[in-house]
Chains A and B, each alone.
Chain A
Amino acid sequence: MTNSIGDIHLADVLLVTGSNTTEAHPVISLEMKKAVRQHGAKLILIDPREIELSNFAAIHIRPRSGTDVALLNAMAHVIINEGLARKEFIEARTENFDALKEVVKDCTPQWAEDISGVPAEMIIEAAQVYGRAGSAAIFWAMGITQSSHGVDNVQALANLALLTGNFGRPGTGVNPLRGQNNVQGACDVGGLPNVITGYQPVIDENVRAKFENAWQTSVNIPPKPGLTVTELMNGVLEGRTKALYIMGENPIISDPNTNHVREALEEIEFLVTQDIFLNETAQMAHVVLPGVSFAEKDGTFTNTERRVQLVRTALPIRGDARRDLDIICDLGKRLSGSNGKTSSDVIRPVTDWNYAEASDVYREIAALTPSMAGISHERLVPNGLQWPCPAPDHPGTPILHKEKFTRGLGKFTPLTFREPIENPDEEYPFTLNTGRVLQHWHGGTMSRRSEGLDWVVPEGEIQINDEDGVRLGIETGDMIRVTSRRGEATGKARLTDKLPRGMVFMNFHFAEVPANALTGAGVDPVAKIPEYKVSAVKVEKI
């Protein structure tokens, strides 16, 4: 998020798209509801489904799945044509405006209506409400990003905020709602193939030299970015990836195209998992290392507003499990030969892998990462710190891009609309959309072991539009089979008027009703994010 959860209520207009906030980020949705109810903010909701936030929306736009760029380009068209663009902001703080103007010139609301099915007047009204706001904040989640044009979608949203000067002030900004508790942090500390800590790129020679020097590596950090999850799995089947070390993830359930992942993991020469349960992926491993849960260790998580917060040991470790930090340090010692065992001669002892506490590790992160240089565990009491925090006396940064953008000038990106990779056709006439439900989490490893949550929602349902259901002779509770080009899933049907006709909605929390056996038609060419929200499927009663 460029802005903070605490300033949501200061927005005059909220534009929420591709986020079922009340189910996936419930506590942030409370702030959105507060903004609407107590502070009179207008909510523009863009989502094909009717969701709880629909009840709070001034305008609810329900586009055909995957037509975001057409819709958002048309909003930019209206904002420019009606003189709602902020000239001073565009001149002082942005570049490439003319290119955007040229591209959206022909993106009329009528053109977008023909593509997205959203009435032109509604697009005009939404653009006017967003464009006239004193402060307007945009929020999105995976409904925007999990698309074969996810990067385009995000840039199209950023274009709207740049056009209207909605950056750098409370109640504005572009605000992705991050999914997992520490997905922000995992990205921040180098858990990506192309960047090391604080998004320092591996292609930069100076960056590599800095880390090689600090870590005293004898191997070189390769100058080329590594492979993403999806590419690693493909790599196994192509014979390039021979070993995987998986910590705290269950790709068989959470990755697209389950059958493909399972096939890959059956093929692989060596698979290690480090986890707290023997999940579906661990069952296929050669070695399973028992780590500990969040309640049995110290460390930090970084939330969606870039706030680094403490995790504290609350319970003793069970059995012979080990703190994950200790497991990795043990591995580090063995691989570097610093435990006295000899290994291949190219690997010499690197830095000593004796970190007693998580705070020692954070000190090393801070020393190597300018944007986090001022953060230490000691400073995180009581409220955490939001990066960038470049110095020990820096208060952290609740709002990004205040005076200028990180890159200097904010850049408009001219975008052209592309259809999703797999639209429905005669053989697979429905569009499958996937997402979360409030009571469960991701692959269900945690939430399904919690009695109360499992009692409320004990099984994964397959939702279909009620008219479609009647047409196919399906009633709520009937067992149905959903099939895509990649696999099938069976489960109980629930008919609902909250889905548009032609849409099937499944959550991915239940291994028995595996939504991700069906997904995986394609990925975004830049971000390599799978198109989870649009897969063509057929539905039949069994």
Chain B
Amino acid sequence: MIKPDRIVTTTCPYCGVGCMLNLHIRENVVYRVTSPFDAPANKGNLCVKGRFGYDFVHAKDRLTQPLMRKNGELVPATWDEAMGHVASRLLEIRDKYGPDSIGFLVSAKCTNEENYLLQKVARGLIGTNNVDHCARL
């Protein structure tokens, strides 16, 4: 049997049950997923997605660099270029049309911390309550 380099305990990214996972990792590949028997929500049980649904993490088409639309095409850009453009366009639009012309969709797949910070950007920096996500969908 393959011996893992490390086993990392984390929380499943699929549904709202919140199953605890042990990711077995060898050479930076998740090759096996188990769950501790004393996990509070799932007691070691996992569904087919929770046990076998992680190829997406290693997918070849993961985004690895910022992209910007130039002449109608999305082309690679540096972080400074991309972020600078995002910030200046948001400010322009905010100044021209007012803060409520901008909307932020946070994410039911992202962490609490990320969601908190993005709504803080919306409310505290742009000055809009136009913050929502797919909770209704």
Q: Which of B50, B66, B110 counts the most A-chain CB atoms under 10 A from its CB?
A: B110
Give, as a whole number of angstroms, the nearest-CB distance from A195 to chain B.
Answer: 9
Q: How far, in angstroms, from A196 to B124 measured CA to CA in the complex? A: 11
Q: Please give the residue numbers on chain B whose beta carbons come within 8 Å of chain A beta carbons, in ascending order.
A: 6, 8-20, 23, 25, 28, 30, 38, 40-42, 45-50, 52-57, 59, 61-69, 74, 77, 79, 82-91, 93-97, 99-121, 123-137
Minimum-distance CB pairs A-B, first 5 = A319-B64, A303-B18, A299-B111, A226-B129, A248-B107
In the bound complex, residues from chain B placing their C-beta under 8 Å from that of A286 are: 68-69, 89
| CB-defined A-B contacts under 8 Å, sample of 21 | A5-B42, A181-B109, A190-B115, A191-B132, A196-B119, A227-B100, A242-B102, A243-B89, A243-B90, A247-B105, A275-B63, A277-B59, A301-B18, A301-B112, A314-B6, A320-B65, A321-B64, A362-B113, A447-B53, A452-B53, A452-B55
In the bound complex, residues from chain B placing their C-beta under 8 Å from that of A248 are: 106-110
Q: How far, in angstroms, from A276 to B8 measured CA to CA in the complex? A: 21
Q: Which residue of A25, A191, A230 contacts B119 across the interface (Cβ within 8 Å)?
A: A191
In the bound complex, residues from chain B placing their C-beta under 8 Å from that of A330 are: 79, 83
Contact at A227–B103, with CB atoms within 8 Å? Answer: yes
Q: Which of B50, B61, B83 counts the most A-chain CB atoms under 10 A from its CB?
A: B83
Q: Which residue of B63, B90, B115, B126 contacts A278 across the interface (Cβ within 8 Å)?
A: B63
Q: Which of B25, B90, B115 counts the most A-chain CB atoms under 10 A from its CB?
A: B115
User: Is A392 in the interface zone, CB < 8 Å from B?
Assistant: no
Contact at B56–A450, with CB atoms within 8 Å? Answer: yes
Give, as a whole number of angstroms, the nearest-CB distance from A347 to chain B.
Answer: 6
Contact at A243–B101, with CB atoms within 8 Å? Answer: yes
Q: How far, in angstroms, from A24 to B15 measured CA to CA in the complex? A: 8
Contact at A247–B106, with CB atoms within 8 Å? Answer: yes
Contact at B111–A182, with CB atoms within 8 Å? Answer: yes
Contact at A222–B127, with CB atoms within 8 Å? Answer: yes
User: Is A355 in the interface zone, CB < 8 Å from B?
Assistant: yes
Q: Which residue of B10, B118, B128 contacts A226 across the interface (Cβ within 8 Å)?
A: B128
**Total contacting residues, chain A, CB less than 8 A:** 149
Q: Which residue of A181, A232, A282, A384 contacts B15 across the interface (Cβ within 8 Å)?
A: A181
Contact at B18–A304, with CB atoms within 8 Å? Answer: yes
Q: How far, in angstroms, from A513 to B74 measured CA to CA in the complex? A: 26
Q: Which residue of B47, B90, B103, B111 contacts A301 across the interface (Cβ within 8 Å)?
A: B111
Across the two chains, which residue of chain A brings its CB closest to B28?
A: A315
Contact at A242–B101, with CB atoms within 8 Å? Answer: yes
Across the two chains, which residue of chain A brings its CB closest to B36?
A: A382
Q: Please give the residue numbers on chain A whose beta carbons come within 8 Å of chain B beta carbons, in ascending order.
A: 5-6, 24-28, 30, 145-146, 177-194, 196-197, 202, 211-212, 215, 217, 219-222, 224-230, 232, 235, 240-249, 251, 254-256, 269-270, 272, 275-278, 282-283, 285-291, 293-305, 307-316, 318-322, 324-325, 327-332, 334-336, 341, 343-344, 347, 350, 355, 358, 361-362, 364-365, 382-384, 438-441, 445-447, 449-453, 456, 527-530, 532
Instruction: Given A222-B128, A312-B9, decide whether A328 and B114 contact each other with a Cβ distance below 8 A.
Output: yes
Q: How far, in angstroms, from A529 to B132 measured CA to CA in the complex? A: 12
Q: How far, in angstroms, from A447 to B55 measured CA to CA in the complex? A: 8
Across the two chains, which residue of chain A brings its CB closest to B42?
A: A27
Across the two chains, which residue of chain A brings its CB closest to B85?
A: A287
Q: Which residue of B20, B48, B87, B124 contacts A309 across the interface (Cβ within 8 Å)?
A: B20
